[in-house]
Amino acid sequence: MSFYTSLSGLKGAQTELATVSNNIANVGSYGFKKSRTEFGDIISPSRTSAGNGTRLKAIEQQFTQGGYETTSRELDLAIAGSGFFVTRDALAGGNTVFTRNGKMSIDDNGYLVDSSGGFLQGLPVDPDGNLTATGLAASTNIQIPQRSGIPRATTSIDLQVTLPANADLPASRAVYSAANPYAFDRLDPNSYNHSTQTVVYDSAGNSFPATVYYTRTADVPTSTWQARLFVGAEEATPSPVTMTFDAGGNRTAPTSAVAFTGVFPSGASAPITLSLDLGTTNQASGPFTLLASEQNGASAGTLSDVSIGEDGLVSATFSNGETQAIAKLAMANFSNPAGLKQRGDANWSITGASGQPTVGEAGQDGLGRVQSGALERANVDITEELVALISAQRNFQANAKAIETGSTMTQAIINMRS
C-alpha cells in the first residue's frame, strides 16, 4: 500500500515541477499569469489506518499585478489594477475572449486588434467622449476611420505683402532687347520681381499650388505693380491685376477684393472660383515681405495619430486638425478570475466557475486604469520559482526514496520465506 501512497506523491511532485517550469518558461510572455499547484490528502479508510497519499485539487492561476515595460508605443497598453481587455475572434459573432496582453495594432481594415488577431471591443461614446451605453452586449469592434471631415473648395485667398519701393522694372532689365523683347513668363524669374505661394482646394479636397507673381511696371509719376494669379499651371482671369500706390506707399487701387472667374487646373474635379483679398498690401522701403497668407478651403483629413487615455478613450487625430472620439475600451472584471479558462497567449474565456463579466470603462467600478506606451510583463518572480523548483525536486526525491524503502522491505520479507 505504501508503494501507491508514495506514487501519488511522485505524481504530485511531477505536476508541481511542470507548473513551476511553465511559469519560468513564460517569464517573457506579456500579460502571463503564473499558476500554483494545490494538493489535498486522500482520506484514510479508518481512524487506525494511515492516509492513502495526495491528490491534485487544482492548478490555481494567480492574477496579481505584473511589472511594466515601457515601450513609448501608443498602442501598447497596460492595465494598472484589476480587469481585462475584451476581444472577439471574429468580426461578426465569434467567441468573446479576455486578455491582459495589451500589445495592440491596427489591421489593414482599420480595426484595433491584439497580438492574437482578436478584435478589440469598445463601448460607444458621444462626440465629447462620454459613454452612451455599457455592458458586454453594447460592445463593438473598434475601427479607426482613415479620413475625417468634408472637403471644402477654396473661394477666398487673403494675401497681404509689402512691396519694396526701390524695386526695378523687369521690362528695363538688360536681358531684354529689340531682338528679345520683354514678356511676362512665370517660368522666367527675370520677367517679374517677386512671387509668393499658398495652397488652394477644389470641391473634392484636391490641393493645388496658388502662386501670385508681382511685377513692377512703373515708378513715376505713380508707382504701379501687376499681380498675376496662377493655380497650378493655369492663369486666373481677369489678369493681370493692376495695383497703384501713392507717394506714401499706400495702395490706391484696387480698393476691394478681386474676383476671378473659375480656373480649372489639371487634375481638378471642377473649376475653382476665387477672390483675392489684398488686405493691407502696401509699398515701403525695405525687402519684399509676406504679411499674411490665408485661404478658406480644406481637404478631408487623413489619419495622423491614434491616442488612448487612462480612461480608455480612443481618439483619432487627422491632418486637418480634427480630433474624433472613437470609443472607450470595454474593460471586464470577474468575481472569481481564477475560474477563467486559459486559452493561451494570455487569453482567457468564461466558465461557470468564473461567473459572468462586469463590463464598464477603465477607472470605474473597481476596474483598473489604462496606461498607454507600456506592456504588463508576466507576474513571475524567478527567485520564488527557483525555490519552488528545488522544493518540488526534494519532494520528488523523498517520495522516490519512500518507494525504494518499501521495495527493500518487501524484498526482505520475500527473502525470509526462502
Question: Does residue 318 form part of some domain?
Answer: no
Question: Does residue 390 form part of some domain?
Answer: yes
Residues 98 and 188 in one domain: no
The beta-carbon contacts of 256-261 under 8 Å, at least 24 apart in sequence, are 257/156, 260/229, 260/236, 261/236, 261/237
Q: What pLDDT is recorded for position 337?
A: 93
Chosen domain end from 295, 318, 342 = 295
In degrees, to the nearest 5, what angle opens at C-alpha 226 toward C-alphas 222 and 229? 160
Q: Which domain holds residue 290?
A: 156-295
pTM of the model: 0.67
Residues 132 and 50 in one domain: no
- Alpha-carbon gap, residue 86 to 136, rounded angstroms: 9
Residues 84 and 201 in one domain: no
Residues 139 and 219 in one domain: no
Residues 216 and 237 in one domain: yes
Residues 210 and 100 in one domain: no
Note the pLDDT tens digit of each residue in 36-82.
998 887 877 766 666 677 888 888 899 999 999 999 899 999 999 99
Residues 399 and 357 in one domain: no
Q: What pLDDT is recorded for position 378?
A: 94
Chosen domain end from 244, 277, 295 = 295
DSSP H or E stretch at residue 325 = strand 323-329
- In the predicted model, residues of the chain with pLDDT beneath 70 are 1-3, 46-51, 417-418
- Report the largest interatomic distance among the alpha carbons of the chain, rounded to a whole angstrom: 143
Question: Does residue 102 form part of some domain?
Answer: yes
Q: Total domain count for the chain?
A: 3
Question: Does residue 334 form part of some domain?
Answer: yes
CATH code, domain with 173: 2.60.98.20
Residues 237 and 163 in one domain: yes
DSSP 3-state of 416: helix
Q: What pLDDT is recorded for position 59?
A: 87
- Alpha-carbon gap, residue 257 to 279, rounded angstroms: 8
Residues 88 and 204 in one domain: no
Residues 138 and 162 in one domain: no
Residues 247 and 351 in one domain: no
